[in-house]
Copies of this chain bind each other. A is one copy, B any other.
């Protein structure tokens, strides 16, 4: 807990991963007091569910839940943690919109960390929620 990463430091760590660069995640807030990080990402053609629909496929939505959830723990632990498992619930379609993803640590234990993730569209409507468990050992 001695080293708390800033938004810029989290962004630098994100850039080391080819897959995360492909997602295009941008850190907009890193709040160690609330154990909360927020990132945004734009739609890109490869994320589309059906050609021309503008609708996000669930795959990249799940992937950002996994990643942003991880970085809520990275902020205080300093390095990415292996995901043990996660659940994603799709609540509404996301169409022609950027996404805002907020992850909040529910428990940072010695062996396991649990994080809740909310995914919203550009209007602030909830489109998906995630709950993920990471190995902190």
Chain A interface residues (CB < 8 Å from chain B): 16-20, 22-23, 45-51, 57-60, 62-64, 66-67, 82-92, 106-107, 109, 111-112, 114, 116, 126, 129, 131, 133, 135, 137
Contacts and interface: CB of A to CB of B under 8 A. Distances in A.
Given A59-B66, A60-B63, A62-B88, 20 more contacts: A17-B49, A18-B49, A18-B57, A19-B46, A19-B47, A19-B48, A20-B57, A23-B59, A58-B83, A59-B62, A59-B63, A62-B86, A63-B63, A84-B89, A84-B112, A86-B87, A89-B133, A91-B107, A107-B126, A111-B137
Nearest to A112: B84
Given A48-B19, A50-B16, A88 B85 contact: yes
| Copies of this protein chain in the complex | 4
Nearest to A51: B18
Contacts of A109: 91
Q: Which of A20, A66, A83, A84 has the largest count of B CB atoms less than 10 A from its CB?
A: A84
Contacts of A17: 48-51, 57
